[in-house]
Amino acid sequence: MLIIPAATVPGAVEACGRRGIKAVVVISGGFREVGQKGEAIEQEMVEIGRRYGMRIMGPNGIGVIDTNTPINTTFVPGMPPVGHIAFVSQSGALCGSIIDWTIGNRIGFSRLLSVGNEADINETDLLPVLAADANSRVVILYLEDIKGGEAFVPALRDVAAAKPVLVLKTGRTASGKPRPPRTPVR
């Protein structure tokens, strides 16, 4: 888990790689969502991770929850009840709200995965994992865009053959589409 300033993340990923760590969740923000400088930091982080065979979740997400392990790497207070719904979200804010809602309404989840910017791991990477997960009987995806390319459709078909899948795709109108990163004011 990395929750440190964006500029220090590549060095921390390098240190993790040298220690043989193969997976990192980066909650920190300040990457491509803030402009070119952040985008360059994000790319450097991914290149370092690839050099070490490391997978990276995030950055700019809230983390992951697995209620069966149990593990909660998010900064959202509380843990949803154990259940059979897997939820993947590109929106950390929505994921946080869903966590609060599930706790308040006692709705069980197996996993909540906040993928953030999807610099490395994206929804297409997670679909085979969720298809094989016996604890997840239903999969819900909240997608602002699809980063998995052509591999997304067959991966989605494979999951849907094993269990129900609900996909909420946002950003279809002009006002809802992702905006390009802002150029910082100097």
Summarize pLDDT for 53-92 with one digit per residue, the tens: 999 999 999 999 999 999 999 988 989 999 999 999 999 8
Residue 176 lies inside a defined structural domain of this protein: no
Identify whether residues 159 and 127 lie together within a single domain.
yes
Q: Same domain for 72 and 20?
A: no
Are the C-beta atoms of 144 and 178 separated by less than 8 Å?
yes
In angstroms, the CA 65 to CA 80 distance is 9
Provide the domain count of the chain: 2
Which pLDDT value is given to residue 171?
Answer: 76
Of the chain, the percentage scoring pLDDT greater than 70 comes to 92
pLDDT band at residue 177 under the 50/70/90 scheme: low
Residues of the domain holding 69: 63-169
Q: Are residue 49 and residue 78 in the same domain, yes or no?
A: no
pTM of the model: 0.87
Question: Looking at residue 52, what DSSP letter applies?
Answer: T
Average pLDDT of the chain to the nearest whole number: 92
Residue 182 resides in a domain: no
64 pairs with which residues across the strands?
113
The per-residue pLDDT for 172 is: 67
The mean-pLDDT minimum among 30-34, 118-122, 132-136, 149-153 falls in 149-153
